[in-house]
Amino acid sequence: MEQITPALIDWSRAQFAMTAMYHWLFVPLTLGLSMIMGIMETLYVRTGDAFWKKTAKFWMKVFGINFAVGVATGLILEFQFGTNWSNYSWFVGDIFGAPLAIEGILAFFMEATFIAVMFWGWNKVSKGFHLASTWLTGIGATVSAWWILVANTWMQHPVGMTFNPETVRNEMTDFFAVAFQPMAVTKFFHSVLSGWVFAAVFVIGVSCWYLLRKRHVKFALSSIRIAAVFGLVASLVVAFTGDKSGYEVARHQPMKLAALENLQEGGNAQGLEIAFGIKIPYMLSLLSTRTPDGYVPGINNILEGGYVQPDGRVALSVQEKMRRGKIAVQALSDFREGQALADETKTETARDTLNAYAEYFGYGYVENPQDLVPATGLLFWSFRVMVGLGMLFILFFLVALFLGYRDKIAQSRCRWFYYVAIVCVPLAMIAGQAGWIVAEVGRQPWAIQDLLPVNAAVSSLAPGAVKTTFFVFLVLFFILLVAEIGIMLKAVAKGPEEIENAQ
């Protein structure tokens, strides 16, 4: 009989993590490019200048190359909730399935429908309808991201539901609490606009490559100007929502914050470590509690409990939470038994116990308090890479804007900037990946924070089966990535040739 083994959990996590990270190589670029294309085509429609049409079409071509891989990996992610996390699918499917379904109905169809008009409608529909289609493609992709991020936020901070022992699952009681909780709003702007940052860096990087080769100069300059403004606005919003996100994590996922800082022992007036022991005094307290002497619990404090939480309650020790969790799981067993025997007293007693301890249900599956500590080393550095690069990009866009709008950027003494811009393209990709490591590794072992750990969420499969599919996907993804990069390089090298002719 199949058992839940550490190998099964690890391979299932690895497969999901790989697919999600791979998905996020392509999606941010399509999210951001769709907006940049929209801006360029709007300029075309407003000015009637064919130059903007050709410019928009070039970035649409790049968008098209990325779109398919993003869509394909998105489908795998959706189905993997069922194939690899089947218990999860039942335990919270009543809540979690809804945003996925709404995404399909409201957003994905919009994107898929209008992308066809965008690519093949140039000579078939009016200018206005075409422009609307380009924007609707981008809006479809963005609304789609909204619902997916709503679903992800709910895993980080489950709200709007109650546990029903009769069906043995959580059931939705408040749709608006799920769909519009403040954390989802923050996550949406933080993630989607980080995609805009990536796309802006990409556009500037590619344009600088043309400037370096002295090709397509007008095209490159125009693209840089638009991308620099777009990127600067986006990167400031990303920084602002990043700060807000830190505050929310401190309130709802204190272990994640402690692990990000590798903070073993917390306390009042905590400083923020930049790296290698260099600290900004009071900064961590300020970021996470909005007061310079606020209390920030460390990993050991969270395990031991006894401090006052932001909601005013005294934190329980993890041992105590595990004890209560086990009582809740046992009460579920008693409830089912009582039902089977038609023993009403037993059923009702069990229901009362379950209601009293439901909050700790997930801790019932935790074997060892140390299992609740995520990988601190990986998180510590991912967080610094994400934040450091985020700040670098703000500076980068400021410089691009300064050079671009004063026409200095085409001068040969700005060559250094071309190299910086090209190097920034892979860095922007790394920043996005680091961000998702922070968000997802940071909440381990919880599939749903405090409610369901990964060992109770996984499908019952042989570890070998999941390992096999992991490697099949790995090989496939690798081949497709090499092909994708090859195609992108060729497309960029070929460049917007027609634009030169149009000028």
Partner 1 sequence: MFTYEFLQNYWWFVVSLLGAILVFLLFVQGGNSLIFTLGRNEQERSLLINSTGRKWEFTFTTLATFGGAFFASFPLFYSTSFGGAYWIWLLILLSFVLQAVSYEFQGKLGNLLGKRTYQVFLVLNGFLGPFLLGAAVATFFNGSNFVVNKTNMSSVMMPVISRWGNAWHGLDACLDPWNLILGFAVFFLARLLGNLYFINNIDDAQLQPRLRRRLLVDTVPFLLFFLAFVIRTLLKSGFAVDPQTGRIFMEPYKYLHNFLQMPVVSVLFLTGVAGVLFGLGKSIFCNRYNKGIWFAGIGTVLTVLALFLCVGYNHTAYYPSNLDLQSSLTLANSCSSPFTLRTMAIVSVLVPFVLAYIVYAWRSIDKKKLTRTELEEEHGY
Within 308-367, the residues that bind partner 1 by CB under 8 A are 326, 329-330, 332-333, 336, 364-365
Interface residues for partner 1 in 23-62 (CB under 8 A)?
57, 61
11 within 8 A of 85, measured Cβ to Cβ: no
The alpha carbons of the chain give a radius of gyration, in whole angstroms, of 25
| Residue type (1 letter), 428 | A
- How far apart, in whole angstroms, are the C-alpha atoms of residue 211 and residue 224? 11
C-alpha count within 13 angstroms, C-beta hemisphere, residue 37? 29
**Can you tell me which residue has the tokens 């229901």?**
351
388 within 8 A of 185, measured Cβ to Cβ: no
CB atoms within 10 A of CB 46: 10
Q: Considering only CA atoms, which of 112, 131, 147 is closest in space to residue 45? A: 131
Q: What is the DSSP string of 165-227?
A: TTTTEEEES-HHHHHT-HHHHHHHHHHHHHHHHHHHHHHHHHHHHHHHTT-SHHHHHHHHHHH
What is the smallest separation between the CB atom of 162 and partner 1, expressed in angstroms?
10
What is the smallest separation between the CB atom of 397 and partner 1, expressed in angstroms?
30
What is the smallest separation between the CB atom of 3 and partner 1, expressed in angstroms?
6
Q: Which range of residues in 44-52, 96-104, 256-264, 442-450 is near partner 1 by CB under 8 A?
A: 96-104
Residue number with CB closer to partner 1 (287 or 457): 457
Does 93 interact with partner 1 (rule: CB under 8 A)?
A: yes
What is the smallest separation between the CB atom of 145 and partner 1, expressed in angstroms?
14
Residue number with CB closer to partner 1 (100 or 427): 100
User: Residues 200, 456, 463, 496: which binds partner 1 (CB under 8 A)?
Assistant: 456
Q: How many residues bind partner 1 (CB under 8 A)?
A: 98
User: Residues 10, 17, 21, 86: which binds partner 1 (CB under 8 A)?
Assistant: 86
Extended beta strands in 281-332, E state:
295-296
What is the smallest separation between the CB atom of 202 and partner 1, expressed in angstroms?
18
What is the smallest separation between the CB atom of 232 and partner 1, expressed in angstroms?
31
Does 168 interact with partner 1 (rule: CB under 8 A)?
A: yes
Interface residues for partner 1 in 109-148 (CB under 8 A)?
109-117, 119-125, 129, 133
Per-residue CA distances from 101 to 82, 106, 151, 199 (Å): 14, 9, 11, 28
Q: Considering only CA atoms, which of 148, 151, 234 is closest in space to residue 194? A: 234
Residue number with CB closer to partner 1 (100 or 429): 100
Residue number with CB closer to partner 1 (78 or 304): 78
Is 35 strand, coil or helix? helix
What is the smallest separation between the CB atom of 402 and partner 1, expressed in angstroms?
35
The contact mask relative to partner 1 for 460-489 (x = CB under 8 A, - = no) is xxx--x---x--x---x--xx-xxx-xx-x
User: Residues 75, 275, 280, 375: which binds partner 1 (CB under 8 A)?
Assistant: 75
Residue number with CB closer to partner 1 (8 or 43): 8
- How far apart, in whole angstroms, are the C-alpha atoms of residue 401 and residue 397? 6
